[in-house]
Structure 1
Amino acid sequence: MKKRMLSVLGAVALGLGGCGGSSRTETMGPGQDFPADAQGQRFELRLKGVNNPGYDSALVQVRRISVTTVEGEALPVRLKSRFPMELTQAEQAHLVGFFLVPEGVERVKVEVTFDDFGGYEEGAGGGVIDTRVAPLRFEAPLAYLSERGRAVMHLDLKQSLQMQGEAKLLLPSLDVRY
């Protein structure tokens, strides 16, 4: 079964490799999250799979994160997740990236876009997760973010992964914890 999952993900990775990475959020190495002169409070963005109905594996990869003010001004972000995230790991909240919020901003809008496809495996087989349907979106009050310095997106696997033909569609059912 694991070999089939690796084959599916390998084919998806090869297919996406030719699509160009210019739309991917800029990534920087460890310790280089933001330029030294960047201003604002730094926050983490994490993703955790919850309410697993029995998947042995559910892998997705983030393509881009966007954080803006309510007025639409883009804020500095750094994508940190370069590899597929295993959402069936109940205790793992994967680091997606970081963002800076300047002084005076009270709320931000967050959007997380996945690569086009992921993969899943369950007792009856496995296949592709079509993640093109909708990004993860939420608004976060700065007062909540400031409490622990992060937002953790809890993606409900039971409600979010719906069968459509031979693939599962990711129709996000999300709860954000601070």
Structure 2
Amino acid sequence: MKKRMLSVLGAVALGLGGCGGASRTETTGARPDFPEGVQGQRFELRLKGVNNPGYDSALVQVRRISVTTVEGEALPVRLKSRFPMELTHPEQAHLVGLFLVPEGVERVKVEVTFDDFGGYEAASSGGVIDTRVAPLRFEAPLAYLNEHGRAVVHLDLNQSLQTHGEAKLLLPSLDVRY
């Protein structure tokens, strides 16, 4: 089973490598999260897998995050997740990114888009997770974000990973904690 998972993840990595992987590289040396002069309160966006029905592994990688006001104005974001995230570790809430919210904004819209494919392994099977179906989307009131400085998306693995042939489709079922 481990060999199958490794071969699936190897194929996914090769496919992702040819799809603009250079944009994910980070330059060396210290640099600020946001350019100097960009104003706003800083918040974290985290992702955690919950309600695992028995997967030994479930890996996904974030391609992009977008945070806007309810009116559609884009806010500054920084993608921090550069590698696949293992969602079967219930104690781990992966840092996906950071975003800034200017004064006067009361609510933001958040969207997380995954790379095209991830991978899973269970006791009796393993394969690809097709994450192209739908991004994660939610609205966050600033009053809630201010409590701890973050939004933690709890992705329900039991409800979100639906069987489709030999693959799993990611149809996000989530709960946001602040």
Q: Indicate the TM-score class for this superposition, using the shorter chain for normalisation.
A: over 0.9
Q: In structure 2, how many angstroms separate the alpha carbons of the residues matched to 1:109 and 1:21?
A: 27
Tell me the distance in 2 between the aligned counterparts of 1:25 and 1:70: 28
| Contact 1:25 1:65 (C-alpha < 8 Å) held by counterparts | no
Unaligned runs of 5+ in 2: none
CA distance in 2, matches of 1:167, 1:52: 17
The Cα shift of 1:28 comes to 6.9
The gaps in structure 1 that reach 5 residues or longer are: none
Q: CA deviation at 1:21?
A: 4.6
Contact kept in structure 2, 1:28 and 1:78, CA below 8 Å: no
Instruction: Say if 1:28 and 1:177 are closer, same or farther in 2 by CA, change over 3 A.
Output: farther
Contact 1:45 1:150 in 2 (8 A): yes
Partner deviation per Cα, 1:20-65 (whole Å, 9 max, x = no partner): 258x689677652111211000000000000000000000000000
The Cα offsets for residues 77-97 of structure 1, whole Å up to 9 and x where unpaired, read as: 000000000000010000000
Residue of structure 2 equivalent to 1:90? 90
Corresponding residue for residue 47 of structure 1: 47
Shift of 1:3: 2.6
What SS does structure 2 have at the residue aligned with 1:109?
strand
Q: Aligned-pair RMSD on alpha carbons?
A: 1.7
Deviations 1:128-157 (A, max 9, x none): 000000000000000000000000000000
Q: C-alpha separation between the residues in 2 aligned to 1:36 and 1:43? A: 17
Q: Is the 8 A contact 2:80 2:97 kept in 1?
A: yes
Q: Percent identity?
A: 85
Alpha-carbon separation, structure 2, partners of 1:26 and 1:64: 14
Task: Map 1:62-101; keep pairs closer than 5 Å.
Answer: 62-101=62-101
Correspondence list, 1:128-139, <5 A: 128-139=128-139
Q: Secondary structure at the match of 2:3?
A: helix
Secondary structure at 1:75 match in 2: coil
Task: Tell me how far apart the structure 1 counterparts of residues 31 and 124 of structure 2 sit (CA, whole Å).
Answer: 43
- SS class of match (1:74): coil
> Matches of 2:31 and 2:113 in 1, distance apart?
24
What's the secondary structure of 2:16's corresponding residue? helix
8 Å CA contact 2:24, 2:82 repeated in 1:
no
Aligned-partner Cα distance in 1 for 2:68–2:113: 14
Looking at structure 2, the residues matched to 139 and 159 of structure 1 have their Cα atoms a distance apart, in angstroms, of 21
Give 4+ residue runs of structure 1 displaced > 3 Å after superposition: 24-31
Corresponding residue pairs, total = 177
Task: With the length of structure 1 as denominator, give the TM-score of the two structures.
Answer: 0.94
In structure 1, give the amino acid aligned to 2:38.
A
Please name the residue that 2:112 is paired with.
112
Question: What SS does structure 2 have at the residue aligned with 1:146?
Answer: helix
